[in-house]
Amino acid sequence: MDAMKRNWLTGNFSKLWVYPDGSNYAMSDDYITFYAAKEGQPDFLPCFILGETEDSRVEPLQGPIQVSDVRKALGFGN
């Protein structure tokens, strides 16, 4: 978690993978990112939202992601 917090300070953010669940979001298994964020209290927490959302708390909302970009978003390159 300390390494993740140090990365954030340099602008290298890890994104949480979340799913819309009513007015909340369910997290996948990104526990290290989540608990590092709870400790570090960053100003924002970037997320990949798997599904559509109309949530006004989400800004800026970008996407939806193109199918051709999924491998890159998962860190597998082109």
pLDDT tens-digit map of 10-40: 777 778 888 888 888 898 888 888 888 887 7
How large is the angle between the packed helices 2-9 and 31-40, nearest 10 degrees? 70
The domain segmentation of the chain, as residue ranges, is: 2-73
> For the domain with range 2-73, which CATH number is right: 3.50.50.60, 3.40.50.12160, 3.90.1530.30, 3.30.470.10?
3.90.1530.30
Q: What is the pTM of this model?
A: 0.64
Residue 70 burial (CB < 10 Å; 0-12/13-18/19+)?
exposed
Tell me the C-alpha distance between 54 and 35, whole Å.
Answer: 26
3 close to 40: Cβ distance less than 8 angstroms: no
pLDDT tens-digit map of 40-50: 777 778 888 88
